Structure 1
Amino acid sequence: MQRYVHVPRATPFARIRVQLPLGLLLACFLPFFVRIAFGGEPASNVITLTLIVSIAGLILGYYFIRSMAVFPAIEVSFYVIPSFIASYLLCISFLIISRMDYSRSILFASFVIAVIFYIIIFGWLKRLGRKRIGVVPFGRTEELLDIAGIEWINLINPQDVYDSFDVLVADFHADIPKDWERVLADRSLQGGIIFHVKQLGESLTGRVQLEHLSENNFGSLVPLQPYVKLKVLLDFLVALAVLPVAIVVIGIVVVAVKLDSRGPAIFRQERIGYRGRPFTVYKIRSMIDSASESGSRRQSMTIQGDARITRVGRFIRRTRLDELPQIFNILRGEMSWIGPRPEALSLSEWYEAELPFYRYRHIVRPGLTGWAQVNQGHVAEIAEVREKLQNDFFYIKFFSPWLDMLIVLKTIAAVLTGFGAR
C-alpha cells in the first residue's frame, strides 16, 4: 500500500500571490491613503490617476524581475532597482506623452517602497539556504551531482519521493519503473515540481550540453523570429542615438593609443558573422602594432597577461573601450549589441574542425557583448571554447528581451570589475 506523507510547502513569501499583493498594498495603496489622510485634500482625479499608474509600474517591474529570475546564477535582489527604474520610467513617459497631470511625490514614494520591499523579500529568500533536490536514480541524472550550491538527495525507493524537497529531477528518457512513474505522477498532481534532467541542468548552469545535441535538436534552438527582426531595428536606433558620444570617446582613446605606442590606432580584422558570412570588424588597437595583424591562429589568440598588450591597451580592454568602433558594424547590420562574440577567421575554422555544431552559433548576429562573455570572460583554447559554445547555445535557445536585459546588467557589472578581460 502506498505511503502518503504531507509535502511541506515553501514559505508563503516565495509565492507570486503573496509577493505581488503585498507589494501593491505597501508601494501603491499606502502612499495613496497617506496622501489623502495627511495631505488635506480629497482623492482627486490626479491622485487617483497616480495610484493607477503606480500599480501599473509595480506590476510591470515585478514582471521584469520574474522574467529575468528564470535564468541561472541570478541574484534576484540585484535586479530589483533596474527593473523598477525601467517600469516606472515607462509609466512616466506615458504620462508625459499623454500630457496628464500626476502626483510626483506619490509616484516617487511608490518607487522607493517597491525597491526596498522587494530587495528585502528576495534577499531574505536567498538566505533561507540551499535548495534540496531529490534525484530519481535512473538515466543520466548523475551528471547533475557535480553542480555546486545544491543539496542533492539520491532517492532509494519510490516512497522517498514524499520527503521534503524543493523540486525533484528525473530523466524522462530513461526506462523508469512503473511504481516510480505512479508516485511521480501523484507528486505532480499534489503540486510538486518535477524537472527533466536536461531542463534542470540548463537552468542551473546556463549552458546547453553539446553531448545531448543531435541534428534533430536544432528545431528547438531556433531563435524567436519576431524578436530577431525587432532587435535589428532596436540595435540600429540605439547605435544611432549613442553615436555622437561614442565618436568623442573613440577620438580621446585613439589619441591616447597613438601617444602610448607606434602604429595605427584602429585596426581591422576579418571575422565570421551572421549566417557564417565573413565581415570586417573594427577595434581600437590594444597591442603592439605587429600583434594586431589577423594572420595565424596563434596571433589571433590572447593569453592571460599577454606581453603584447600596451599600457593603454590594458585599460581599454578591461573597460571594453577597445570594442567601441564596432558601433559602425552595428549600424551596417553586421553585428548586434548583444550576441555571441564573432571569432577571427583562423580561430573559427579551427573551432569548426574540433567542435561539433560550432557553426550553428552563427544563426544569430554576433554581438558586442553576450551571455558567454558575462559568465565566462575571454577564452581561446578548445576546452574553454567548448564551454563558451554551450553558453552560446543557451543564449540562442532562450533568445528573448529578458535575457538581453540581463546581459546588459551583467555587462555593466563586468565593465566595473574588469571581469573576463585579458
Structure 2
Amino acid sequence: MNSVKAFKTLLSNSYVCHSLGLVVVVYLTYLFSGYSVKAIPNTVVNTLWLLVVCYFCISAVLPKIASYLLVERKYYILPVIISVFIFTMSIVFMTRIDYSRSALLYGAIISFVWFYLTALIRQESQRLVLFAIPNFDIRSLNQKGKVRVIELKAPYDISNIKGSLVVDLHRNLSPEAEKFIADCSLNNIAVFHAESIREMLEGKVQTKHLMENAIGSLQPNPLYMTFKRIWESFIIIVTFPITLLIMAITAILIKLENPGPAMFIQERVGQGGKLFRIYKFRSMTIKEAGAEDKFATAEQARVTRVGKFIRKFRIDELPQFFNVLKGDMALIGPRPEQDSFVRQFEQEIPFYGYRHMVKPGITGWAQVVQGYADDTESTSEKLAHDLYYIKNLSFWLDINIVFKTIRTMLTGFGAQ
C-alpha cells in the first residue's frame, strides 16, 4: 500500500512523470517493433525520434487546453494525441522522412495508455488547492469537485499556506486579514478573488458582477484576432475537399425532399452590431411571408427529415464557412442572433450588447457548454458563457472549443 502511495507521489511531479513516460513509450515501441538493437532499421530509428517529438508536444499542449477548471483532462487526451500524430504525419509526408507505420501506430497507442492512466493516477494531485479566509460561502467552491478549499483559522500564519489564497475581496476584512493578504502577495503566493474562482469553475461571467470587472478585460487582443482569422481560414480551406462534397450532397437531398431553395439566407447581427447575411442549409419547409421570427424550438413542426439529420450533426452550418472567409464571422465565437431578438434582449438582459465585441462564430463556448437557448432566461445564461469566452479569448480556449465541438457533433448535444 505504501509503495502504491509512493508511486503516486512520484508521478505527481510532472518532470518525473514525463521523463518516465518518455522512456516507457520509446522502449515499449522498440520492443513491439521486433528488432534487436544491432538490426534495428533506420525507419524504426526515425520513428522513435518522431515519438520523442510527439511526446513532448502532447505533454506541452495537453495542460494548456485542459487548464480550465470546467474541463476534465482525461477527455482531451485522445483528441490531442490524434491531432499531434496527424500533424506529425503531414510533416513526414512533406519532408519524405522514412518511417515505420507499425511502430508509429504502436507509439500512438502506448502514448494514449500512458497519458490516460497517469491522468487518473494524478487526478487528486492536480486539483487546485486553495486556502480560504472564510468571509464567503466556502461550500459553493468545494461542491464543484475541481478544487479543494481549506478554511483558515485566525490568527493567520503564512507558513500554513501550501497552495494559493482565496478570499472575497469585496467584503469587509479585518486589519489582520488585510495584512495577511498583503504578506501573501509579497511572498509570491497567488491571491484569488472568490468570484474569479467561481467564474473559472462555471465557465461563465456573472453579469451582476460585470461592473467589478474592468471593461477593458473584455477587449480581445488585436494581434491574436489577426492570427485567429488566419488559422481559422486555413482550416476551412484545407478541409474544403471533404466539406464541399458534403455540401453538394446535402443541397441535392434538400431539393429532392422538399421544393424550394437549398440555402437559407437571413440577416443576423455581427461584430459591432452590424448586420450581415448568414448562409445555412434549409432544414425546414418554406416560411410563410410575413410570419414573425421564432426560436427554433417553436418551429419543430416545419423541420424536414433531411433537416433533422443535418441539424443533429451541424451540417446545416457548413455554408457559414463562406461567411468566415468573407470576414463576417469567425469559426469560433458567440452565435449570431436575429436583429429582432437582439433588440428584445438588449431591453431585457443587462450588458447583452457586449457579446458583439467579437465576430460571431459557427460554434462557441456557450454552444458546447450550455447548448441551445430558447428564451430570455436561457439567453441570459448563454450571455454569461459568451462573456467568459470574450474575457478569456485565447488560442488554447479556441482549441478547447474545437475538441468540444467535435464531441458535440458526434453526440448531437444542443441540436434544435
Same fold per superposition (TM over 0.5) = yes
Assess, with a 3 A threshold, how the Cα gap between structure 1 residues 394 and 261 changes in structure 2: closer, same or farther: same
Please point out which of 219, 222, 225 is paired with 2:222: 225
1:187 to 1:281, Cα distance in 2 relative to 1, 3 A: same
* Structure 2 Cα separation of the partners of residues 373 and 25 of structure 1: 40
**How far apart are residue 214 of structure 1 and its match?**
2.6
- How far does the alpha carbon of each residue in 1:63-85 deviate from its partner, in whole angstroms, 9 at most, with x for none? 11100111232121121122122
The 1:362/1:21 distance shift into structure 2, 3 A limit, reads same
- Quote the Cα distance in structure 1 between the aligned partners of 2:95 and 2:129: 50
Partner Cα separation in structure 1 for residue 318 and residue 58 of structure 2: 30
AA aligned opposite 1:254: A
Q: Do the aligned residues in 2 keep the contact of 1:379 with 1:385 (CA within 8 Å)? A: yes
Whole-Å Cα distance in 2 between the matches of residues 29 and 182 of structure 1?
Answer: 53
**1:114 has 2:111 as partner:** yes
- Provide the secondary structure at the position in 1 that maps to 2:297: coil
Q: What SS is found at the alignment partner of 1:71?
A: coil
Q: String of CA shifts for 1:131-183, please: whole Å, max 9, x gaps.
A: 77554222x65694595436666555345998798754212344433433555
- 8 Å CA contact 1:270–1:294 kept in 2: the answer is no
Separation of aligned partners in 2, 1:281 and 1:230:
23
Structure 1's 41 and 170: CA in aligned 2 closer, same or farther, altered over 3 A?
same
Partner of 1:20: 18
Q: 2:145 aligns with which of 141, 149, 154?
A: 149
Task: Summarize the Cα distance change of 1:33–1:260 in structure 2 as closer, same or farther, 3 Å threshold.
Answer: closer
Output one character per residue of 1:340-369: Cα deviation in whole Å (capped at 9) or x when no partner: 111111111112222222222222221111
TM-superposed deviation, 1:206: 0.8
The match for 2:243 among 242, 246, 270 is: 246
Aligned residues: 408
Q: 1:339 aligns with which of 333, 338, 361?
A: 333
Residue 362 in structure 1 maps to residue 356 in structure 2: yes
Compute the displacement of 1:329 (Å).
1.2
Deviation at 1:225, TM superposition (A): 2.1
1:379 corresponding residue in structure 2: 373
Among 396, 403, 412, the alignment partner of 2:390 is 396
Between the aligned partners of 2:167 and 2:42, the Cα distance in structure 1 is: 55
Aligned partners of 1:55, 1:100: CA distance in 2, in Å? Answer: 15
Paired letter, 2:59: Y
Aligned to 1:69: 66
Uncovered stretches (5+) of structure 1, i.e. residues with no partner: 1-9
Identity of aligned residues (%): 35
Aligned pair in 2 of structure 1 residues 253, 29: CA closer, same or farther (>3 Å)? same
**1:7-48: CA deviation from partner (whole Å, max 9, x where unpaired):** xxx944333223222222212356468879824337x87766
**What SS is found at the alignment partner of 2:169?**
coil
Tell me: CA distance 1:21–1:190, structure 2 relative to 1, closer, same or farther (3 Å). Answer: farther
Q: Following TM superposition, by how much is the alpha carbon of 1:195 offset from its aligned partner in structure 2, in angstroms?
A: 2.8
Letter paired with 1:341: R
Question: Mapping of 1:275-290 within 5 angstroms?
Answer: 275-290=272-287
Tell which deviates more after alignment, 81-90 or 371-380. Answer: 81-90
1:414 and 2:408 matched: yes
SS at match of 1:38: coil
Give the residue type in structure 1 aligned to 2:61: F
* Structure 2: gaps (5+ residues): 1-7
Instruction: Give the TM-score taking structure 2 as reference length.
Output: 0.84
Which residue, 353, 371, 375 being the options, matches 2:347? 353
Contact 2:138 2:149 in 1 (8 A): no
**One-letter identity of the residue aligned with 2:410:** L
Aligned position for 1:234: 231
| 1:38-49 matches, cutoff 5 A | 38-41=36-39
Higher mean C-alpha deviation, range 261-270 or range 23-32: 23-32
Residue 255 to residue 160, structure 1, CA distance change in 2 (3 Å): farther
Contact preservation (8 Å) 1:135, 1:152: yes
Give 2:236's aligned amino acid.
Answer: A
Q: TM-score, normalised by structure 1?
A: 0.83
Provide the C-alpha distance between the structure 1 equivalents of 2:45 and 2:290, rounded to a whole number of angstroms. 63
Query: 2:271 maps to which residue?
Result: 274
Deviations 1:192-217 (A, max 9, x none): 76532233122111111212223971
> How far is 1:231 from its partner?
1.9
